[in-house]
Amino acid sequence: MESTSLPAALELVACGGAGLSPEKRAVLGSSLLLLQRDYRFERVWFWGCIQGVRGCYYIAEGLGPNRAAPRSRLYSLNCVEWSLLPPATKEMVAQAEQLKGRFQGDPSFEYEYTEISAEDAEKILEDSKEPPIKEEARLVATIDQIDRAVGIIPRGAFVKTPLGSVRENRNFEGLSLTEAKKLSSYFHFTEPVNLKAKTLLEKANLDPSTDFLDSLEHDIPQGSWSVHLEKGGAVVVLRSLLWLGLTFYHVPMTKQYGYVYFGTGEKNFDLPFML
């Protein structure tokens, strides 16, 4: 969610029990502005918080002119001092998927190979003598996984230019209440997968400038999103049941929208059995 509208946005998602203390909100309000200035980001989003056993990771994302370009991610343990995270790699994601349990809250903490499956540990040790997995690498991979799986935007909020870059749509005035209650009105803000598999006939009714991403209506498993009307029907809230703690909000007929994550960074693998 936008750093400039952070206090109001956190109030809108607070119904789910997620939030920050008044002290943390005040500190974030000033530190994110300094972060934007120091790193010369065009925009800064407060991504959320991953709760560890001994501490919490507060995450921010920096964006450039092209919103579809890879985002710079930073973390802080106190909402004041920020450290830049390296880009996620396939190796990081593969290793993080093998780790189970809570984050510790210490970036230098090292996971031993005994904490992953015996088969995977044996394969890694045979391939090369790699050092233990650091929690910072797991943090990078987890943020990337959550963004790809449940980072969403309303339809029409961004447009794709003829040159291929993605920009904010200045004409976007929000979804109507009827449209805002439909999963088809929201897109995954990442490289599309299902869209590429559609036939030319299916793409005939799509606007290439706005419908260039995958919608939520075909997410697997079906039922992985819950849609609620809150604040007397003035706010539409979507919650992910796959990554518990991810909350998206949109105020219909306005430009106010965003998502934030407050959770342990663990995927809900039991979801298919809960539906």
Residue 119 binned pLDDT confidence (cut-offs 50, 70, 90): low
In the chain, % of residues over pLDDT 90: 47
Note the pLDDT of residue 117: 54
For the residues 8-35, what does the mean pLDDT come to?
A: 80
Residue 197, class by beta-carbon neighbours within 10 Å (0-12 exposed, 13-18 middle, 19+ buried)? exposed
What are the tens digits of pLDDT across the range 187-207?
A: 999 888 777 666 666 666 777
For the residues 237-254, what does the mean pLDDT come to?
A: 93
Q: Cα dihedral sign for 140, 146, 149, 153?
A: negative
* 16: pLDDT strictly greater than 60: no
* 37: pLDDT strictly greater than 70: yes
What are the tens digits of pLDDT across the range 253-273?
A: 999 999 999 999 999 988 888
Ranges of each domain in the chain: 5-86+143-266
Note the pLDDT of residue 247: 92
User: What is the residue-wise DSSP string for 118-176?
Assistant: HHHHHHHHHH--PPPEEHHHHHHHHHHHHHHHH-EEETTSEEE-TTS-EEE-TT-----
Distance CA 208, CA 60 (A): 30
Q: Is residue 150 within 8 Å of residue 240, measured between CB atoms?
A: yes
* 83: pLDDT strictly greater than 60: yes
For the residues 230-248, what does the mean pLDDT come to?
A: 90
What are the tens digits of pLDDT across the range 129-157?
A: 556 788 999 999 999 999 999 999 999 99
* 27: pLDDT strictly greater than 70: yes
Note the pLDDT of residue 177: 92
Note the pLDDT of residue 66: 86
What are the tens digits of pLDDT across the range 50-78?
A: 999 999 999 999 998 888 888 899 999 99
Residue 17 binned pLDDT confidence (cut-offs 50, 70, 90): low
What are the tens digits of pLDDT across the range 204-232?
A: 677 778 888 888 988 888 889 999 998 88
* 114: pLDDT strictly greater than 70: no
Beta bridge partners of 74: 60, 84
